[in-house]
Every structure is written in structure tokens, then in C-alpha cells.
Structure 1
């Protein structure tokens, strides 16, 4: 990200300035890793015994050693001095020789080695102000290089956004400029674009997917940082609060101000692109809804014309119609996911209907199960049909939803229970109990067997002899009980409608 021609202000870069003639007082291998590569924010000089109240973190301290003049043989004094500097965050110590004494005190060298503090000699011919000026120049050069990079990066990103594949090119350019993996997730939490592709291992991807899903569920605009294993990530939401369009993920830790400015520009352009894309998707959604309405109305010709406007034709062959049941906001998310073209297998057609989202699939398609697994929805699915039979198939899908539990309700299972099975509802059970109550009360109070007799008689196609054999009684007994039941119910069981009503009540009640 930094201009390769400009060295960042570090201890190593400061020591590398040949005009300063600085010399490291110990072997680099004796220092902790990266000790010489720590950033230097400023260079300060002080001969106080304890300058730490006046120092800041990331600072190089220069001293001539006057604070040690009266205790050069006290190792505890040197050890405490260096320890205080290290705890304050001082990154290196420079000792000016030939001012108070020749060379660096051996006890100071030992104390710095014990604390992992880089110690270097500043020769008499090099004034402290020259060291401070060198670091200030490096800081200014690095700052200028970062600003120059940020402007160039924003220009490159803007040019990428003008390409035909603007969103993909923008994400790719951001990844190149940051020299990091960048991924763009849609509103359903699917990774739609990534650069470089396949750079994340499966475990990291799975955990990142979960984090993105959590951010999207909150539905609030936010930026967050996290670490997955050794990799730091930054997450930035796209879109407005309550209606997020996606999440931009960057495999990078804390970004500096210039990098954040570039990311902000990408977020703005990506958000605008997604909002514009939303307008297109809204128009496509209206066309899809029109296709569904035309099919429900039996106007196959109009449905075909609308489908062609969407860029595809109604595929010939058998179909199955599914109706997705969920809240309005969730149905919109499902629609966006289907519109994104990532569903596998893809639907033959989908669109909003009066009772939910209608999805047309090939018979045997796994898409209904995929929808139910991915989203908290229920799907009613019709039996195989043709496009001409679309209204009937849609009714079957809705009937399956009403009659069955479970995430995917299939009409074939509903049809297997027959017409009377469809009467299995709370209302039907209440009506059946009310219709049979006089018979049950009569059997309970008088010890008769009107209910079992009626069931046996109806199961025997209303034949007295067959019912008598089934019950093990005389046919006159059956005839007498039927007549009693007619008096109790106040109906004439000689008519088929009356028998059908009684049979349905017996079936629903389970008596």
C-alpha cells in the first residue's frame, strides 16, 4: 500500500541513514524479532533520570548520559532506567558519545540487551537535531506517499467502477490496492464476489459466513473488526439501516486513515451500484409478478411474453408449482436470493403472488428443500402439471400448505388422505362433536349402542343384514336402532346427503 520508493519511519530506516553515521551498539540477532522495524513517531532528547512522564509511545529517545555521571557502576540504576523506557513504549535509545563520556556505558548496553531495547551510538559529529529532523522528514515523506497513494487508489477504483462489470472490477481493484483479500456478500449472506478467488480456506470461510450472517440479521449500518485464526478481518455494511444490501469483508487488520478513505469510496460506489441494481430488480420483480398473475388467470400467451422480457422462455415439459409462506420482509430476501442466480437448481420461474412467493420448478427438483433449509420458510408443492394447468397446480400447493406441517408440504401426500381427510380441522371437529352429541348422550344415559350401530350400518353401505352380521345382532335390532337414531337426531337417514353428513361427522370425530 505504501509507495515502495519511500521507506516508512522505523528504527531500521533511521539507522540506515548514512548521513547520520549511527551505529547499533549490539548484534541485531540479540534483539527480539521486529525490534528494529517498529514505527518511530518522533525523536526526543532528554538527560533526565526519569523522562517517562514527558514521553509518548513509539518514540526514540536520545541522551548524552549525564544522568549516569555519579553512578556509572550501579547496574540497578541502568536496569531501572531502561525498564521504565520500555514500559512507556520507547522503541529505541540513542546515546550521544564524546559529549559527557567516550563510548557507551557497558552497564547501559547490558540493560538494553536484557530489555530487548535497541541501543545505538550517535557520534559527536551528528547533532541530535539532525536525527530528529531525519525522522521528521521520513514521517512527512511517508505521509505524502500515503496521501498520494490514496488519491491514485481512489482514481483507480473510480475507473474500475465505469467498466461494464463495474461492481466486480471495483472489488478486484480494491483488493489490488490494499494487497488483501476482499469479498462482497449479498443481502442473503452469500459471497458473490471475491478477489483473489479461493484465497480463504474452508474453515475460515465458514466462520466468516457466520459473522456476516450475524451482521445482516442486526440490519443496522456498522463497521466491525474480528480475527479468525491468524487472519484479521474488517466488515463494512452496504446500504441503509433496516435495508442492508450486503457486507464488504477485507482480510486486513486496522486500516490507516488513507486506506479507510479508499474503502469508504468503494462502499459508496458499491452501495450506489446495489441501489441502482435494486431498481432494476424491482422492475424485474414486477415482470415476474405479472407472469405469475397471467398464469393464474390462464393467459399463457401473456405469461410467455412477460417471461421473454426477463430474458428467458417458459421451458416446455412438466412443472411443479411451489408457494413459499413467510413474512413480507423474508419473502423479499428469498426473492433477492433467487434473483441473484446462485440457486442450484435454478427455478423455471418465480414471482410474488397474492398469497406469497410462487416458485415454478421441474418435478423432483431439490429447490424447495434448499429454500426451507436456507430460510425459515414453508413451501407447499403441487403435483406434476403443465403450464396450462398452472391455476390448479397453484391451488394444490396452497392446499398442501394448509393441510400439512413441516417445511415442505407436498400435495401428493395431502391427496392420499382423500377428500374427507381434508375435513380434519378444529372447526370440523367442533361441528362433528355437536352433531353427534345427542347420540352420545343417548348411549351414555340409556345404555344403547346407537353410535357403533350407525357406523357399522354406514360401513355396510346402509344394508341392514350386513350390519347385523358385523355387529352379531338380529337384523330387527339394527332396524330398531337406526329408527331410534333418526328420532334422536331429527333427520331422515333414507336420504344420501343425511347419510354422508353423518358419515363425515363419524370420520372427523374418530368415534
Structure 2
């Protein structure tokens, strides 16, 4: 990415025209102390110049302050604490040679000490470093302009967005990848620079960031990789993420990344408009399928998943990201699918052999899905109704299958809001009695019915005498206006207890 040497203390020491020489032993200095970016060069002979200094600069001095009662160890310690990157001593100006105490103090504090010869004015050192900063700034601006041109040309190629992201990786000399809203990696460069498991973890983080609607750049570390993530799209309509294996960007590199994000956002917005039009068409085709006739749908889209199929209905499901997820499966594995939006939710139709993908879909997006039994297209409406029934039985994220729903209890299938309202109204006298603090009649009834209306085992379970239980059953029957000596009455009561909310 860099095209010129970064202004550092090492770069300054390499300038032959200045004649600077490192006095400290490099092998005794902290690692990279000579290669950290050098912000500026300043000169001062004050006993304590630190109030006037900023960090990451080099200080030049002639040592006149050491004639006073200045403790050299304390002086150098203050400079190190302030973040000064190096100390230059102007020899033969006020002193002959460099004081040994200063050499020892710099060594003790890990401070690079260099000699500025008498023939080199301090202003020449500062000017040389200023010119190096200006040269680097010019080079970075030139690099940014050249990179912008290369990215614009890449955008004109076939699959321009993929080519643009790959060119960005080449120009920054880092791994670059683009993820869609479903967390799938669309393009990466270099292709195999990051391990598969790290990319999977990164995809999970992408989904989390997009779900939370975060727009700012995110930095995270996975294994030995540090990534910076940039979201694509505007707030509330995020389309994906561009990831770079880099921990920081200078202003020029950031401006280049910003332009790529803008191009990607525009391309994805156009793609999303086409996708919305396609989903509207599929919504109309769903009406044809619900009439148990797949002829029109086959003519319009060219094909459907092979029968037998399962139909799934998802609640509160993001249509765009889910469509992207299925499209990726089709591209990678040839998985056929049909997807459409309706008032009931998002309807997905896949071959019965791909049924397990619905569990993966529910887990990945944290949504509720009802799944039908396998059916042919001539029974599509029945499969759709089964999926809706299964969906109503699911309380949390995950896939609920119709076969499991009907296998549990017919009462659960009949427990509509209207049925619950009726049940709670019928049981109101019983519950009002129990709330008064008298005997727990509802609990006694439930236990008695569970034990097949036999008083002995039910009384034993409740810990009361069987005569007490019989008295409670008689009292409950009176309150409810039901003759509990008949089986139909007991069956109706059991249905009421199972349907009403506890």
C-alpha cells in the first residue's frame, strides 16, 4: 500500500546530507523504536521542555541546561514519559562530545540518542523531516488518485462489484472480502488467505452487526487475524459488509474504502430493486400454486423444486437476506426453491429431500417456521395450511413440523383464541371460588380427570381423603352446572381445562 518510506527516526538517520549518527546501541533499544512514525522535530535547551512537547517527536538539544543543577536521569525520564521518540545532541556547540551521564540515562530509559554534528543546524534537521512528511503526503495522495482510477475501471468489468473488491484488496495489499446480508462470503481476495473456520466466524459477526443496524467501522480479532468491517447501505437498509484484514487505515486509504462502499451500496440497491420486483411476481404466482395448479408458475420462472415438496411459512422473516441465502445455496449446491411473500408470512417451497435446510434457515436467522408434510403440487394449498397450523404452535425460534403438531394432541390444534375465550368464561365460576381462598377445586378436578375419574388414586396424589375429593368434585359440578357423573360431561370439562390459559 505504501509507496514511499514513512517518516521515522531511522529514515532521518539515513540522510547522508545531515550526518546524523546513532549513539545508542540498536540491540539495546526497544523493538521498532527507530521505526515508529515521527510526527515532528523540535529543539529546546530548557531544563524541563515537556510542557511544550507532544508525543511522537524527536527533541534536539545542545545541553546548556545541564550546566545548571539538572538531574540528567530525571530529564530523560520526563522525555520518555512524554512520548518523545528520540533525543538528538548537538555536539561541539556548547560541550565537547556527549556527556556519559546522558548516554547512560538514555540507555536506561530505552531512549534513542543520536549525535547532530556541528556543521548541521538544527533547522536543517527539522526542515529535512518536514520535507519527508510532505513527500509522503504527496505520494499518498497520488496513490489514492491512481487507486480510484483503477477501482473505477474494475467496476466496468463483468461482475464489476466483485472485481472492485478484489482490486481494493490488491491496492491495499491486504485480504478483502464482501459479505451479503445473510452472512455469506460473496467475493474475497486473495481467495485462500484466511482459513475457512475464521471466515465462518466472521460471517456470524456480520449477521450480528447487520441485525443490530451498526453503520460505523467495526474492528475485531479472530484467531490471528484482525479485521475492520464496513457496512454497506444506509441505516435501516444495510445490504452487506466489506471486511479488510487490517487494524487501521490512514485518511487516504479510508477515502478509497469509502468510495468502494458507495459503489457497492449503489450496486446492491439496484440489485435489491430487481429482487423486490421478482418477489412481487412470486407473490402473485403463489396465488396460482394455492389453487393447486403449478402450470403458470412453471411457465413464468421456468421450473420448481422436484415433488414431493414441503411448504414452510416463516414469521417475521427478512425476505431479502433469506432470498440471498437460498440463492447462495442454489449457486453452490444446485438447491431449487420457490419463495414468496404474503400476508401470512414468508412462504418457502423446497423438495422434501432438502427439508433439513429449513432447520438451518430458522437457526441462522432466529425465526419461527412452520413446515408441512411432503405433498405434490396438486395439494399445495393443503401443505400451506399445514405449515400455518405448525407455525401457530411454535412459540420460539426454530422449525415446527406439522407431523409433530398433529401427533401431540387434537386439542392443541383446536386451541384458537376464540376457543380459549370460551373455555375461560366457562371456568370463571370455578376460578373465582379458588381465588376466594377456599378449596382448590380446579387443581382437584385436573388431578381427578388425569386419574380417569377415580377418587382413590387422585386423593392419594393430592394428599387428601377420598371423601373430601368427592365433595370437591360435587361442588365443582354445581358451580359449573355440569353433571360430572357422565363421560361426555367429563370430556367437555377436560377440553375446557386444556384449552384455557393457566
Structure 1 portions without partners, runs of 5+: 438-443, 445-451, 457-487, 490-499
Q: TM-score, normalised by structure 2?
A: 0.79
What corresponds to 1:115 in structure 2? 109
Q: Aligned residue for 1:492?
A: none
Query: 2:92 aligns to what?
Result: 98
Cα 1:433/1:220, change in 2 over 3 Å: closer
For the residues of structure 2 that align with 1:296 and 1:382, how far apart are their CA atoms?
14
Distance 1:203 1:416, change over 3 A: closer
Equivalent residue for 1:338, pick from 315, 326, 342: 326
CA–CA distance in 2 between the matches of 1:150 and 1:292?
50
Match 1:279 to one of 269, 273, 284 = 273
1:142 positional shift: 0.7
8 Å CA contact 1:60–1:92 kept in 2: the answer is yes
Select the structure of larger CA radius of gyration. Answer: 1
1:409 correspondence with 2:400: yes
Any idea what SS the aligned residue of 1:98 has?
coil
Distance in 2 between the 1:238 and 1:286 partners? 24
SS of residue paired to 2:352: coil
1:473 — aligned with what? none
Aligned pairs for 1:21-420 within 5 A? 21-69=19-67, 77-201=71-195, 204-205=198-199, 208-228=202-222, 231-308=225-302, 313-324=303-314, 326-327=315-316, 330-341=318-329, 346-365=335-354, 366-402=356-392, 407-416=398-407
CA distance in 2, matches of 1:168, 1:291: 32
Equivalents in 2 of 1:282, 1:132: separation in Å? 60
Secondary structure class of the residue paired with 2:120: coil
Q: CA deviation at 1:298?
A: 3.6
Shift of 1:258: 0.5
Shift of 1:141: 0.7
How far 1:259 sits from its partner (Å)?
0.9
Name the CA distance, whole Å, in 1 between partners of 2:174 and 2:207: 22
CA–CA separation in structure 2 for the residues paired with 1:207 and 1:381: 29
**Equivalence map 1:392-471=2 (5 Å):** 392-402=382-392, 407-416=398-407, 422-423=413-414, 427-428=418-419
Distance 1:428 1:8 in 2: 76
Give 1:2's aligned residue.
Answer: 2
CA, structure 1 residues 31+420, in 2 after alignment: closer, same or farther (shift >3 Å)? closer
- Give the alignment's TM-score, normalised by structure 1: 0.77
Greater Cα shift, 410-419 or 82-91: 410-419
Q: Cα offset for 1:332?
A: 4.6
Q: What's the secondary structure of 1:35's corresponding residue?
A: coil
- The alignment partner of 2:151 has SS state of helix
1:44 shift after superposition:
1.8
Deviations 1:147-182 (A, max 9, x none): 111111111112111211112111111111112222
SS in 2 for 1:238: strand
Q: 1:294-339 CA deviation, whole Å, 9 max, x = no partner?
A: 211344221112212xxxx124432222222x12x63454334334
Separation of aligned partners in 2, 1:415 and 1:175: 54
* C-alpha distance after superposition, 1:176-230 (max 9, x if no partner): 1112222222223333332223433466445544543332222243223344455
| Alignment CA distance shift 1:218-1:314 (3 Å) | closer
**Aligned counterparts of 2:261 and 2:232: Cα–Cα separation in 1:** 6
Counterparts in 2 of 1:508 and 1:293: CA distance versus 1, 3 Å? same
Distance apart, 1:378 and its partner CA: 2.4
Q: Which runs of 5+ in 2 are unaligned?
A: 429-440, 442-448, 454-480
In the alignment, the residues of structure 1 paired with residue 122 and residue 184 of structure 2 have an alpha-carbon distance, to the nearest angstrom, of 57
CA distance in 2, matches of 1:261, 1:433: 64
Q: Output the CA distance in 2 between the equivalents of 1:38 and 1:315.
A: 60
Q: Secondary structure at the match of 2:84?
A: coil
**RMSD in angstroms over aligned alpha carbons?**
3.5
Q: CA deviation at 1:54?
A: 1.9
Q: 1:301 to 1:209 in 2, by over 3 A?
A: closer
Who is 1:478 aligned against? none
Aligned pair in 2 of structure 1 residues 431, 10: CA closer, same or farther (>3 Å)? closer
**C-alpha separation in 2, matches of 1:158 and 1:67:** 58
1:225-270 deviations in whole A, cap 9, x for unaligned?
Answer: 3444554332222111112112222221221110110111011111
Partner secondary structure for residue 37 of structure 2:
coil
Look up the match of 2:10: 12
CA distance in 1: counterparts of 2:490 and 2:301, whole angstroms? 48
